[in-house]
Every structure is written in structure tokens, then in C-alpha cells.
């Protein structure tokens, strides 16, 4: 098939360039090159007016009279400055190189055509080193172009494959290929109903459009195709799992569930918790394996939902396990659930890498015999030596911290049928990401906080406000409350960050001296036992201030803590800031999150801080994080293998994704196996598409 032809056989490429294309851009075949799309376009089909220029960084074409031309500055700051005027305004043109030649070439009073990128300097637009040519009648009558710009690298450029070189071989490819050699993938009825370009037309127009309308129509078609086939795969996998993967039936709500609900539950469940439990209950009775994601903001009560779900399993003669990403979080779950269960008669154990010897042997023996109902632990639960008698449900907390293969190991712990799977996250996932990363899972959302919780007051402060921040800390400690002070810890600068942490600890020790104040310190370089000792001191209220890195991001639960100070907050992502803020506000008292930053902030940094100040809504924050950082950088998505889109952008293409998913659902409802003639193209393309990748999401 022509699209499978090796790229070295294309005229203008050859073996050396082909090798560089493979290494730098994973372009091996004609088909790979055809799907190496431009990332922007140079629009010379129209002239902008100076008054209506809006966006810094935009490339524009102007036409106007040169009104001033002079050399300014000396030495390294020497520059040639000119002003261009059209009927609407004036803009400065600047050259730092080739000054003498440009000065001789240009003439005040003549009309010129100027092309370049807009810069903002001292609140005014200018264009540095523009392309400039005299606006002669011949030049004005020459057809203006709309040129694609392709992503390139230094190595490609050295081989003559810069943006211009790539444009040349792309044009050669489109001359070699014939329309019938680029098969259509979508049924005619879809193309007609949704006014989508045929595939060949879309590929031609995306590479060599005549104008922006061509680009819009082509990218709409290609984005839809990319997202549509992804959703078709995901939904087919869910369909297969629903039909083929049987699950244990938990029919009865027995003594453990009823007694816990009536005697042990210390508070009324929220409406959201009850709704999610009804959804879980329906799954557990269906005869199909449950595969459900529970999203809930920090403090929304996911742990109680998990416990009640485990009691449903125990009432039906099965065991349950809960896996957490850190010892701190696993230990906290064990302590919290043990306290909630009290004397109910449920045997609960704890396993981690630090549990050894006779203690570990006893737990393993009771798990294998079935005497132990629930085990809570870390990655240690995945080890081959952890064997269950009758595992009915696996619950995974903060699931984005685990790789898919690790979760698959937990899946294999049940001998007869795979256990039901419930995965939980306190990192809210934007709707578009959820449909993509977890489209094969049923999704439940706990979108209601327990009654009596007060919204956390979030403030942005700089070093100038340090005394005021210390005042808030003292006021809260005087009321008997506790304070977190968190420093960033980034691997590349771990040594520097540790110094910053220790310097901060010493400064706090001076500002909050003993014996009036006791301070704990926790960071990733400490031994597990030392770290746990310091955390326990804070939990027991023996220390008033905890100085820490992000090791306390997930799982530390101290309802008495009412202040979270985050130093260098601009160095944290939105999701991480939100998680850290969730460490306070867990009691009934007013809590505070104080974001300390330097005076100078990038635009993204300023927007992140402002988002935190403006809202406590985790889902709103997640949407902002997706918009600012893109899907590939959102915590936990790098491992998905699904986010390497060629043209689609989840941060911008949510409406196309939702339409693609809806259409895929409609098609599969009518023709689950794509057997009808009108869906033959879909089936053929999907089979080829599926050869290259697996959908791990059926394991959650």
C-alpha cells in the first residue's frame, strides 16, 4: 500500500534524511509524513491594519508609508528604528543587525509591505527584524500565499529539513499520492450528516490551504476522526467487558453493613455519598465485574464510601483490600477505618514494606485462611507472597499514582473471577480527560462536602507581607490550632530545595522560639521511621508547626490544622496546590491557605495563583490546569499512552470530543460489532488502528 512505502523512497529524502526523520520525528513511511501536520500558518493573503493589532506573538502583514528612519543607541544597544504608518495608526520597526544595509535600502516617504511577529515593549507594539519590500504595483499584484509551518529540530534543519525543506517534501508527497491511495475511513452518511470533508480533501487542505477557512474545515474533519476512533475503541472495549467479564454477585446487605450504618457511622451521609453508593450497589448486584472511578474533591468523604463498599463484600463472604500509594496514607486509612469499625467484629490488617517477620507471616496466614476480612497496604499488596482466600473487591486510592501493570497484578489476586474494582481520586479530572483516560470506566462524582465545613480562605502574599502571615499563624496557634509550612521539592534541584527547606526551618525556629512553639520537619530524604515519628508528633498535637515538602500532599489528616502556608507557590502546579490546600479545612473551624510568591510572576504563574484565590472548586481548578498546562502534563496522564494526539487538543476540542463520543455511542447501539455494510470502513480502519495499541483501561 503506498502509505506504507518507506520514506527514503520519496524524491528529495534519501537514506540520510530518512534516518534523521525517523530519529527526530518518528516518520518512517509516506503515511507518517502525511500525518505530520503544520502547527501554524503564515498568512500573507491579507493585510492587517495597525489599529486592530491585538495579540502579541501573532505574525501579521502590514502595508504603509515609512515615516521615520534613524539609528539609535551605541555599542551593543545600537539599533535601527523606523515607523510605519497606515490609515489607522503607527507601529515601530526595529533592526539590531544589518543596520547599515537596511538604512541604505529603505527610504522615508515610500510605501512598503511589512511581514513579521508582533512584540510588546513598554506597552506598545513593535516588529523586530521584519521582512520588508517596496509596495510596487508588481508586488501588490503578486498572489499572496498561505504557507504551512512544520515543527522541526536542529538536526533536521542541518539536513535541509527546516520548515521550508519539510514544506518541499510534503508538496512532493501530495503530488506522488493519488486520492484512491488514501482510503476514506468514515462512512458516507457521517460525512454528509456532519458536513465533514472527505479525508483526501482534508489532508490536502491541512498541508496547503488557500486561506483560514480551508484550515478550519480540514482540522475539524481530522480532529473529529482522531477523537471518534479513540472513543469507538474505548466504548467497544467497555461493551466487551460488560458482556464477557463476569463478576461476583453481592446480593445481600447483611449484619456488618446494617450494624455499621445503624451504630457506628458518626455522621449523616451526604446526598452525593448516598447516590454514589447506590451506583456501586447496582454494579455489585449486576453479575458483571464493577469497574468504577469515584472522583471526589478533598474532604468529600470517599473513604467512608470505600469502607461501606467493603462491608458489602464481607457480608457476602468475600475479602476486600485497599491499596494506597504511600505508607503515610495507608497507615492513616488503617487507623481511620479501624476506629470507625470499632468492635463490629471485622478483622482488618495492615501490610507495607516495613511490616516484616512474624507480624507479616501472621497477617499473610490469616489472609490466606479467610479469617482476615480487610487488608490495607501499599505496593506490598502486589507481591506474589500476598495470597487471598476469596478476594471480592480491590479499592485503589489516589489511583493515578499507580501504573497499569501494578493494578493488573491486583486484578489477578482472585482465583475464580476478577475482583470488583473501585478506583478513587481526590484529583478532579476535567470532563474531556475523563472521557479519554477513563472512558471505559463508569464514573461517579461526590460533588458535595459534608455539612458544617467552612470554605477555606485563600490569600496571595509576597515577602512584604511576611509579618502579617506570621501574625495569622500566631493567632491560630494561640487558639490551639496547628500550621503547615510547605516548601517545593523538585528532583532536578533537590539539593537546593533541601537547603531552602532547612533555611526556612531555621528562620521559623527564630521567629517561633521554643518552648512556646514546637516545630516538626518532614522531607523525602529522611528515613521512613524518622518521617513517621515527626508526623505522629504533629498528629498528636505535640508540635504546632510542621515544616515539610510535598510528602504531605496526600493523606495527612489533622482536622486541628487550620493554616497552610505554601512557600514559592508559583513553582507548584494547580492540582498540587489544591491538594495541599486540602490538608486544612478538615474541621469545623475557619481555615486559611496562604500562597507565598516572589514579586515577579509569569503570566501562567499569575493565573494559577489567581485561580486558587478565586475558587475552592476542584473541578474548576482541574479545567484551568488543563487549559494552562495541556493534557500531557496533568498529573497521572503521562502513562496513559492515549494523549499523543496528532492534531486534537483536549484543552480546546472538548465539543468535538463530546460529539465524537455521542456519535460513536449511537453507532454501537445500533451495530455493536460494526457488521452492516455502511460501517464497513469503520470496522476495517478500527482493526488496523487497534493492532498498534492496547486499551489497558479495562483494568482501570
The 10s digit of each residue's pLDDT in 110-143 is 999 998 889 888 778 899 998 888 888 877 776 6
d(CA 700, CA 249): 20
Give residue 497's pLDDT band: very low, low, confident or very high (50, 70, 90). Answer: low
pLDDT at 554 over 60: no
CA distance readout (Å), 72 to 92, 121, 127: 13, 16, 16
Q: Residue 697 pLDDT > 60, yes or no?
A: no
Most confident listed range (181-185, 579-583, 683-687):
181-185
The pLDDT value recorded for residue 642 is 47
pLDDT of residue 111: 92
- Report whether pLDDT(197) > 90: yes
Residue with cell 542541518: 158
Q: What angle do CA 429, 434, 436 make, to 5 degrees?
A: 140
- The pTM assigned to this predicted structure is 0.69
Residues 150 and 161: their CA atoms lie apart, in Å, by: 10
What mean pLDDT do residues 401-408 have?
60
Helix (H, G, I), strand (E, B) or coil at 184: coil
Over pLDDT 90: what percentage of the chain?
40
What is the rounded average pLDDT of the residues 278-304? Answer: 88
List the chain domain ranges.
Answer: 1-44+150-181, 47-143, 255-286+301-425, 457-615
Instruction: Give tens-digit pLDDT for 603-624.
Output: 888 888 999 999 888 778 877 8
Task: Kindly give the interhelix angle for 163-176 and 199-207, rounded to the nearest 10 degrees.
Answer: 150
Confidence at residue 204, expressed as pLDDT on a 0 to 100 scale:
95
CB neighbours (10 Å) of residue 198?
15
**Could you name the CATH architecture of 457-615?**
3-Layer(aba) Sandwich (3.40)
Which overall architecture, per CATH, does domain 47-143 show? Answer: Beta Barrel (2.40)
Confirm whether 255-286+301-425 and 457-615 share one CATH topology: yes
- When pLDDT is cut at 50, 70 and 90, the band that residue 644 belongs to is low
Alpha-carbon separation of residue 452 from 150, 272, 479, 614 (angstroms): 55, 15, 19, 21
Confidence of residue 686 (pLDDT cuts 50, 70, 90): confident
As a whole number, mean pLDDT of residues 338-366 equals 91
Write down the pLDDT at residue 632.
52
Average pLDDT of the segment spanning 657-670: 91
Instruction: Select the more confidently predicted residue: 36 or 434.
Output: 36
The proportion of the chain whose per-residue pLDDT surpasses 70, expressed as a percent, equals: 90
Average pLDDT over residues 25-53: 89
Per-residue pLDDT tens for 305-338? 999 999 999 999 999 999 988 887 888 889 889 9
Instruction: Quote the cell numbers at residue 539.
Output: 498528629
Count how many Cα atoms sit within 13 Å of the Cα of residue 659 in the half-sphere of its side chain: 14
β-sheet bridge partners, residue 423? 293, 396
pLDDT exceeds cutoff 90 at 553: no
Whether residue 152 is predicted with pLDDT greater than 90 in this model: the reply is no
Q: Which stretch of DSSP H or E encloses residue 429?
A: none
When pLDDT is cut at 50, 70 and 90, the band that residue 692 belongs to is low
pLDDT in tens, 41-65: 888 778 889 988 877 777 888 999 9
Average per-residue pLDDT in the chain? 85
* pLDDT of amino acid 654: 82
Q: Which pLDDT score is estimated for 300?
A: 81
What pLDDT is attached to residue 626?
77
H-helix or E-strand spanning residue 376: strand 374-377
Beta-carbon count within 10 A of 688 CB: 10
Indicate the pLDDT class of residue 437, thresholds 50, 70 and 90.
low
Higher pLDDT, residue 237 or 473: 473
pLDDT score for 695: 41
Q: Rounded to an integer, what is the distance from CA 165 to the centroid of its chain?
A: 34
Cell of 293: 472511578
In CATH, what is the architecture of 255-286+301-425?
Answer: 3-Layer(aba) Sandwich (3.40)
pLDDT tens-digit map of 502-545: 888 888 888 898 888 999 888 877 887 888 888 889 988 999 99
Cell of 393: 473487591
Of 363-367, 440-444, 489-493, which one has max mean pLDDT? 363-367
Residue 593 has pLDDT above 90, yes or no: yes
Mean pLDDT within 464-485: 93
Confidence of residue 485 (pLDDT cuts 50, 70, 90): very high
Q: Sorting pLDDT into bands at 50, 70 and 90, what band is 637?
A: very low
* 475 — pLDDT class (breaks 50, 70, 90): very high
Pick the residue with more confidence: 68 or 448?
A: 68
Model confidence band, residue 640 (pLDDT cutoffs 50, 70, 90): very low
Predicted confidence band of residue 473 (pLDDT cuts 50, 70, 90) = very high
* Residue 188 pLDDT: 92
- What band does 1 get if pLDDT is binned at 50, 70 and 90? low
Task: Tell me how far apart the 2 most distant CA atoms of the chain are, in Å.
Answer: 95
Amino acid at each position: 500500500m503506498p502509505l506504507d512505502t518507506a520514506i527514503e523512497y520519496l524524491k528529495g529524502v534519501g537514506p540520510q534524511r530518512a534516518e534523521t526523520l525517523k530519529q527526530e520525528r518518528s516518520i518512517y513511511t509516506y503515511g507518517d509524513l502525511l500525518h505530520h501536520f503544520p502547527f501554524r500558518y503564515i498568512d500573507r493573503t491579507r493585510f492587517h491594519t495597525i489599529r486592530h493589532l491585538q495579540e502579541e506573538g501573532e505574525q501579521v502583514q502590514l502595508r504603509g508609508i515609512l515615516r521615520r528612519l534613524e539609528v539609535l543607541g551605541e555599542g551593543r544597544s545600537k539599533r535601527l528604528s523606523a515607523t510605519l504608518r497606515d490609515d489607522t495608526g503607527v507601529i515601530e520597526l526595529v533592526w539590531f543587525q544589518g543596520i547599515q544595509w537596511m538604512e541604505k535600502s529603505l527610504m522615508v516617504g515610500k510605501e512598503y509591505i511589512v511581514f513579521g511577529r508582533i512584540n510588546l515593549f513598554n506597552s506598545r507594539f513593535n516588529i523586530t527584524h521584519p521582512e520588508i519590500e517596496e509596495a510596487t504595483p508588481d508586488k501588490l499584484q503578486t498572489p499572496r500565499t498561505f504557507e504551512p509551518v512544520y515543527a522541526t529540530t536542529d538536526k533536521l534543519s542541518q539536513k535541509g529539513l527546516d520548515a521550508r525543506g519539510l514544506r518541499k517534501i510534503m508538496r512532493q508527497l501530495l503530488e506522488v499520492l493519488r486520492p484512491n491511495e488514501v482510503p476514506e475511513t468514515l462512512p458516507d452518511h457521517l460525512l454528509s450528516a456532519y458536513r465533514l470533508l472527505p479525508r483526501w480533501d482534508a489532508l490536502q487542505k491541512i498541508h496547503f490551504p488557500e486561506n483560514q477557512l480551508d484550515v478550519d474545515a480540514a482540522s475539524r474533519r481530522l480532529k473529529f476522526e482522531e477523537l471518534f476512533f479513540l472513543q469507538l475503541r474505548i466504548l467497544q472495549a467497555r461493551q466487551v467487558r460488560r458482556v464477557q467479564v463476569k463478576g461476583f454477585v453481592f446480593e445481600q446487605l447483611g449484619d456488618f453493613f446494617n450494624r455499621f450504618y445503624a451504630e457506628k457511622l458518626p455522621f449523616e451521609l451526604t446526598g452525593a455519598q448516598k447516590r454514589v453508593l447506590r451506583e456501586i450497589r447496582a454494579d455489585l448486584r449486576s453479575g458483571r465485574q464493577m469497574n468504577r472511578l469515584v472522583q471526589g474533591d478533598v474532604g468529600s468523604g470517599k473513604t467512608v464510601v470505600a469502607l461501606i463498599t467493603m462491608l458489602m463484600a464481607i457480608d457476602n463472604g468475600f475479602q476486600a483490600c485497599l491499596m494506597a500509594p504511600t505508607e503515610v496514607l495507608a497507615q492513616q486509612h488503617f487507623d481511620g477505618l479501624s476506629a470507625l469499625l470499632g468492635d463490629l467484629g471485622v478483622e482488618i490488617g495492615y501490610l507495607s514494606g516495613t511490616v516484616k517477620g512474624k507480624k507479616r507471616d501472621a497477617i499473610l496466614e490469616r489472609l490466606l485462611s479467610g479469617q482476615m476480612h480487610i487488608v490495607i497496604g501499599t505496593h506490598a499488596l502486589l507481591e506474589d507472597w500476598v495470597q487471598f482466600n476469596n478476594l471480592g473487591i480491590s479499592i485503589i486510592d489516589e489511583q493515578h499514582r499507580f501504573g497499569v501493570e501494578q493494578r493488573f497484578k491486583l486484578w489477578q489476586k482472585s482465583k475464580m473471577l476478577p475482583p470488583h474494582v473501585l478506583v478513587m481520586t481526590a484529583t478532579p479530572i476535567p470532563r474531556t480527560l475523563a472521557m479519554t483516560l477513563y472512558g471505559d470506566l463508569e464514573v461517579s462524582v461526590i460533588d458535595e462536602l459534608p455539612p458544617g465545613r467552612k470554605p477555606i480562605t485563600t490569600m496571595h502574599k509576597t515577602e512584604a507581607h511576611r509579618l502579617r502571615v506570621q501574625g495569622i499563624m500566631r493567632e491560630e496557634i494561640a487558639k490551639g490550632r496547628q500550621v503547615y509550612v510547605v516548601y517545593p521539592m523538585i528532583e532536578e534541584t533537590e539539593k537546593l530545595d533541601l537547603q531552602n527547606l532547612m533555611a526556612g526551618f531555621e528562620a521559623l525556629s527564630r521567629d517561633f522560639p521554643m518552648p512556646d512553639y514546637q516545630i516538626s520537619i518532614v522531607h523525602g530524604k529522611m528515613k521512613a521511621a524518622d518521617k513517621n515519628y515527626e508526623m505522629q508528633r504533629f498528629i498528636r498535637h505535640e508540635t504546632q508547626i510542621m515544616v515539610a515538602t510535598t510528602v504531605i500532599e496526600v493523606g495527612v489528616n489533622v482536622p486541628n490544622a487550620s493554616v497552610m502556608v505554601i512557600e514559592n507557590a508559583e513553582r507548584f502546579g494547580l492540582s498540587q496546590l489544591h491538594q495541599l490546600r486540602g490538608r486544612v479545612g478538615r474541621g469545623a473551624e475557619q481555615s486559611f491557605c496562604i500562597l507565598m510568591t516572589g514579586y515577579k510572576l509569569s503570566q501562567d504563574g499569575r493565573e494559577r495563583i489567581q485561580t486558587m484565590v478565586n475558587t475552592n472548586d476542584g473541578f474548576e481548578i482541574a479545567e484551568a490546569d488543563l487549559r494552562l498546562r495541556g493534557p500531557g502534563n496533568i498529573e497521572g496522564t503521562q502513562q496513559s499512552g492515549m494523549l499523543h494526539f496528532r492534531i486534537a487538543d483536549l484543552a480546546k476540542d472538548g465539543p468535538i470530543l463530546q460529539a465524537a463520543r455521542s456519535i460513536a455511542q449511537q453507532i454501537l447501539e445500533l451495530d455493536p460489532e460494526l457488521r452492516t455494510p455502511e460501517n464497513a470502513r469503520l470496522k476495517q480502519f478500527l482493526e488496523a488502528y487497534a493492532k498498534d495499541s492496547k486499551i489497558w483501561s479495562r483494568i482501570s
